[in-house]
Amino acid sequence: MTKRRVVVTGLGAVTPVGNDVATTWRALLAGTSGANLITKFDASGFAVRFACEVKGFDPGQYMDRKEVKRADLFAQYAMAAAVQAMEDAGFGNGTGYAADRTGVIIGSGIGGLKTFEEQHDVYRERGPSKISPFFIPMFISDIAAGLVSMRFNAKGPNYATVSACASSAHAIGDAFRAIQYGDADVMITGGAEATVTAMAIGGFANMRALSERNEEYATASRPFDATRDGFVLGEGSAILVLEELEHALNRGASIYAEVAGYGATGDAYHLTAPAPDGEGAQRAMKRAMVDAGLIPEMVGYVNAHGTSTPANDLNETKAIKAVFGEAVSSLNVSSTKSMTGHMLGAAGAVELAITALAVRDGKIPPTINYHTPDPECDLNYTPNVAVSREITAALSNSFGFGGHNVTLAVKRYPE
């Protein structure tokens, strides 16, 4: 069976460096850090007091007052990015697509954590009768997909993926497959996360996953650098509109890039640590490249998972070297988490959107804060300054606690 081709026709984003795609893209190419001291709660007593927060976000631009009140922040971010993406694709008025041939898959690693914290406080302070009747639908991770499907009357495949930091990459991979296999013609897909909360910061800090450079927060996220000491927590959302190629061409849609391959594997190794030498990541990259019909020499860019943790960056480097062999010498790698922070369940979607833009525009965003080379991390990480380069094909890596690995492959369109 000939697989149907899938292209990206719409993008939307709410990130720590911009509340839309254009602003985010400009900031990334300029090497702008999204890190700052935490404003969402009093972090003065915490070991980590900074994060990459979304700034100046107004959900009222995308939802009415009642909808905002009944939606956790992660779902508000998802709705904003979805509205942007559908408008960008030319679907903003709800026409141009068949409802039962349009689906929604939006991943979130944690869901409505802030709502959970707030309602637990209500329970402890005022008793069970005061828990909001909207608590459960506000908290559950699938509600962003549900809300977006209702907004756009999308009646095709509709669900959430939950696989920690690989959540939205799995969502996009599943959406890609749904179109390939004929289950849908249009998919609204991506991820959302809003976990700059007391419990998340405290929990990640206590497991020693976060950087503690409170006095150097703008440079704390330093993937692949020898002095890296943990990731910086981020938040936000990115949504992509994926579309079957002929469907897009028939309506004259603008195309960012073609999604060409999807590889998903499991480490079966450890709760939080990657498998030695990135063994699972290697298999994910290989599967995505085989799926896309790519050989190493055809790939010009890898948007790395690149978390700024000692273990991830070393093992991802080893994985990339194992997969690309001699071709690794001509490869550009970068971690945009150096600017956005680690957006957890939203990271894969943001980074695939970035990868699609890189392929379209021939520009590779940098890995900022890279100043002290690590002898064991010796790839071209596009340090500190964006570069221009024609890219035929690129990969985006996403790995999650629990051993979840996803690689998505994109190609320039037209080839």
The residues annotated as belonging to the active site are: 165, 305, 342
Which ranges of 242-396 does DSSP label H, i.e. alpha helix? 245-250, 279-292, 310-324, 337-340, 347-361
Burial class (CB in 10 A: 0-12, 13-18, 19+), 178: buried
Do strands 332-334 and 50-51 pair parallel, antiparallel, or not at all (unpaired)?
unpaired
In this structure, what DSSP letter does residue 238 have? Answer: E
Dihedral of the alpha carbons of 340, 345, 346, 351, in degrees to the nearest 10: 70
- Sign of the dihedral through C-alpha 164, 169, 173, 175: positive
Rounded Cα gap, residues 77 and 281, in angstroms: 29
Listed in sequence order, the residues at least 6 apart from 45 whose beta carbon sits closer than 8 Å to its beta carbon are none
- Distance, in Å, from the CA atom of 51 to the CA atom of 73, rounded to the nearest integer, reads 16
Quote the Cα angle for 22-25-390, to 5°: 115
**In the structure encoding, which two tokens stand for residue 249, read together?**
């061409």
Q: Are 386 and 345 contacting, i.e. CB atoms less than 8 angstroms apart? A: no
Query: Does residue 370 sit in helix, strand or coil?
Result: coil
- What is the rounded radius of gyration, in angstroms, for the C-alpha atoms of the chain? 20
Query: How would DSSP label each residue in 148-161?
Result: HHHHHT--SSEE--
Alpha carbons 91 and 84: distance in angstroms, whole number: 10
b or e along 40-79 (b: 16 or more beta carbons within 10 Å of the residue's beta carbon)? beebeebebbbbbbbeebebeebbeeebbebbbbbbbbbb
Tally the residues of the chain: 415
Q: Which one, of 28, 243, 389, lies nearest residue 20 by Cα?
A: 28
